[in-house]
Amino acid sequence: MLIANVSPRTGGKTTDSGLLAHAVKETKTKKAPQGRKVKGFDADHSQQFWQWAQNGDFSFPVDKLATARFHKEYVLPEDVVGIVDCGHSENHPDITDSVLRVADLVILHMAPTAGDFERIVEPVDKTTLADMIKRSASLRADGQAPPAVVLLNRTVPNTKSSKNYRTEMEAEGWDVLSTTIPRSEAFAQAVGFPVIGASKGPFGALVLELESRGLLT
Ligand SMILES: Nc1ncnc2c1ncn2[C@@H]1O[C@H](COP(=O)(O)OP(=O)(O)OP(=O)(O)O)[C@@H](O)[C@H]1O
Ligand SMILES: [Mg+2]
């Protein structure tokens, strides 16, 4: 299966993609007692996910594929979970559109802030991500839009922001995951270095939530 990690602008995607990929590989679950095979796809011109895989000595491949032909060119064996780090959908909608044609799950990454909320829900001059997901339906093999969830990241405990933006996003029709990724120095410094123990923290909890909800096969 293929998981598309999206946001209109900078939203924590690369950090979350790298840590989620490791957690998917390492987390031993009911359905995957040995963990899962994973493969990364860097669909951002920054190539930061790919670069992290080199510098961080990842134990799985990350392909460079920042192209509007993603849906034609990606290669993913049946038993492997593909994790795609998309670029800014507001600047490169053509690439995100292509990924959405073949994604089995979309994860929208956002901080619980007005800045992120506005760019997702009420962009002045762009197509909303919700509309991009909806319009993908007609170009998909099954004619249905892929399931999509919101992952709140850079959350701070005991503040109102997470609860407020969870409520706001749900009111907009989004499905917000229970798991959130807290703001932390360790996560802020993760890109560029080897990833150790990703399954032990919130990314392991994220894998369990996705599996228990039938969103991770
Ligand atoms: N959980 C976290 N806690 C604290 N800082 C974080 C966390 N996750 C990401 N960051 C920081 O937020 C910034 C943006 O993260 P990241 O580069 O992963 O976003 P992105 O969506 O990939 O951005 P872009 O689309 O521009 O490549 C980085 O400085 C990163 O270190
Ligand atoms: Mg990035």
* pLDDT range class, residue 169, cuts 50, 70, 90: very high
Going by C-alpha positions, the residue among 117, 119, 120 that lies closest to residue 130 is 120
Ligand 1 in reach of 113 Cβ (< 6 A): no
Q: With contact defined as beta carbons under 8 Å apart, do 91 and 123 qualify? A: no
In this structure, is residue 112 part of a structural domain? yes
Cα(39)–Cα(19) distance, integer angstroms: 13
pLDDT recorded at residue 155: 98
In this structure, is residue 142 part of a structural domain? yes
Nearest CA to ligand 1 atom 7: 188
* pLDDT range class, residue 1, cuts 50, 70, 90: very high
Ligand 2 centroid to Cα of residue 73, in Å, is: 21
184 residue type, one letter? S
Ligand 1 in reach of 181 Cβ (< 6 A): yes
How does the average pLDDT of the chain come out, rounded? 98
Q: Which atom of ligand 1 is nearest to the CA of 7?
A: 21
In this structure, is residue 217 part of a structural domain? no
Ligand 1 centroid to Cα of residue 58, in Å, is: 19
In this structure, is residue 56 part of a structural domain? yes
Q: Over range 132-139, report the average pLDDT.
A: 98
pLDDT recorded at residue 108: 98
Assign 11 to helix, strand or coil: coil
pLDDT recorded at residue 47: 98
pLDDT recorded at residue 71: 98
* pLDDT range class, residue 186, cuts 50, 70, 90: very high
Segments in the chain forming alpha helices (H): 13-26, 48-55, 70-73, 93-100, 114-121, 129-136, 161-171, 185-188, 202-212
Q: With contact defined as beta carbons under 8 Å apart, do 148 and 142 qualify? A: no
The fraction of the chain above a pLDDT of 70, given in percent, is 100
* pLDDT range class, residue 141, cuts 50, 70, 90: very high
Q: Which of 14, 50, 86, 181 to mutate to test the pocket of ligand 1 (most atoms within 8 A of CB)?
A: 14
In this structure, is residue 82 part of a structural domain? yes
The fraction of the chain above a pLDDT of 90, given in percent, is 100
DSSP string, 22-40: HHHHH---SS-TT--EEEE
pLDDT recorded at residue 97: 98
Q: With contact defined as beta carbons under 8 Å apart, do 4 and 107 qualify? A: yes
CATH of the domain at 191: 3.40.50.300
Q: Over range 52-80, report the average pLDDT.
A: 98
Range of the domain at 68: 2-212
At 107-122, the pLDDT tens digits run 999 999 999 999 999 9
Q: Over range 136-165, report the average pLDDT.
A: 97
Q: How many domains does the chain contain in total? A: 1
Ligand 1 in reach of 48 Cβ (< 6 A): yes
Going by C-alpha positions, the residue among 85, 32, 8, 50 that lies closest to residue 208 is 32
Report residues near ion ligand 2: CB below 5 Å.
14, 48
Ligand 1 in reach of 90 Cβ (< 6 A): no
At 8-20, the pLDDT tens digits run 999 999 999 999 9
* pLDDT range class, residue 94, cuts 50, 70, 90: very high
Ligand 1 centroid to Cα of residue 63, in Å, is: 20
Cα(120)–Cα(133) distance, integer angstroms: 12
Q: Which of 5, 10, 84 to mutate to test the pocket of ligand 1 (most atoms within 8 A of CB)?
A: 10
Pairing of strands 148-155, 105-110: parallel
Nearest CA to ligand 1 atom 27: 10
In this structure, is residue 40 part of a structural domain? yes
In this structure, is residue 208 part of a structural domain? yes
